Amino acid sequence: MPLNTWSDTITIAELIDEPMFSEDMDALVDQIDAIRHESDEEVPHVIVNLQNVGTVNSSNLGSMLRIRKLLDACDRRLLICGVNDSIWSAMIATGLDRIFSFASDVTTALAEIQLGIGPGSESTES
């Protein structure tokens, strides 16, 4: 699976189009669940890189929502990056552009998490 452990607290999911997209997202959900219930490890923040994904379907969006819910329960962030125009259109049409947090690329997403900036971060700066 294209999961890269950036650090103890950040995992990067490098996704590609179907059929691997669904399989990789399901594996990520299972991994997060396993850490939550069977391990002393801390659940990591997750960056989902969609740079190599052309389109998303309702199942893909549902998987991302499940991951967001799991991470929210652990006070962890999900950041989505590498979004093309087609995916952005789907996000806007479904209203998920207001639900998910986005970054332009992986580097920016890493910086936001490490510096604690952006929506859903623990930063209290105004």
Please, what are the domains in the chain? 3-106 (3.30.750.24)
The per-residue pLDDT for range 66-118, each reduced to its tens digit, is: 999 999 988 999 999 999 999 999 999 999 999 999 999 999 999 999 887 76
d(CA 72, CA 78): 8
The per-residue pLDDT for range 100-112, each reduced to its tens digit, is: 999 999 999 999 9
Rounded to the nearest 5 degrees, what angle is found at the Cα of 6, between the Cα atoms of 5 and 10? 85
pTM equals 0.85
First-to-last CA distance in the chain? 38
